[in-house]
Each structure stands twice: as C-alpha cells, then as structure tokens.
Amino acid sequence: MIKGIAILLLFQLLGESLVFTTQLPLPGPVVGLVFFFVAMQACKVLGFSVFTETETAADGFLANLGLLFVPAGVGIVALWGQLQSQAAILLVILVTSAIFTLATTVWTFIAVRRLVWRGQPE
C-alpha cells in the first residue's frame, strides 16, 4: 500500500512541477491525474501490471472518504452562531448559485446536443 501511495504522490508531484514550471492555469493535481491516467492506459496496452498496489491504495482512500468531511462539519458546528446571523444571505446565495448552476448545465447540454446533432437527419 505504501508503494501505491508513493506512486499517487509521484504523479501529483509531476503535475505540480509541470504547472509550476510552465505557469499553466490548471491545478497541478489535475494534470498529475491526467498523467496517471495516460500511464495506466499505456501499461494496460503494453501488458504491465505496475499499478496494482496503487489500486489498493486508492480503494483505501475511497473507503475512508467520509473522514475528509469531518473538518467541514466541525467548522459548521464551531461557527454556528455566525451562520445563524448570516442565514438570510447564505440562503439567497445558495438558491442563486443553484439556479445559476442549473441554467448553465441546461445551456451547456443544449449547446452540445446541437453540435452533436448538426448535420444528422432528425
């Protein structure tokens, strides 16, 4: 499992290094994840089984994913008084952002559907 975690961290380091040196406007871990995906696919095509321990480590992380939400929950409980005093504005922000997200998602779906179906008979 340590080898798997080391491999995951190595790809994150590669992504962070590339973003830092090239000043790409992307998060380093996302670039590292793309590198990791490409490496996994290349090993799959070539018949190597390098990432078996990485899969075990990833399964361990996913099994304990709920623990990552504990700090957010503690923060909500600790700042409950401030949250109550700001409840109205928080509600407006949440509803507005939900509507904006929904509208953007629908607009994107419609735009992609028009691009995909362009030139095909209906």
pLDDT of residue 61 exceeding 90: no
pTM of this prediction exceeds 0.85: no
- Please report, for the chain, the start and end positions of each structural domain, with discontinuous segments joined by +: 1-63, 71-122
Mapping DSSP onto H, E and C, the string for the chain reads CHHHHHHHHHHHHHHHHHHHHHCCCCCHHHHHHHHHHHHHHHHHHHCCCCCHHHHHHHHHHHHCHHHHHHHHHHHHHHCHHHHHHCHHHHHHHHHHHHHHHHHHHHHHHHHHHHHHHCCCCC
User: Residue 106 above 90 pLDDT?
Assistant: yes
pLDDT confidence band for 47 (50 / 70 / 90):
confident
Give the CA dihedral 90, 91, 97, 99, nearest 10 degrees: -170
- pLDDT band of residue 122 (cuts 50, 70, 90) is low
Instruction: Tell me which amino acid residue 62 is.
Output: L
What is residue 119's predicted lDDT score, i.e. its pLDDT? 63
Tell me what pLDDT residue 69 has. Answer: 82
Model pLDDT for residues 17-38, shown as the tens digit of each residue: 999 999 999 999 999 999 999 9
Per-residue pLDDT tens digits for 63-98: 988 887 888 888 888 988 888 889 899 999 999 999
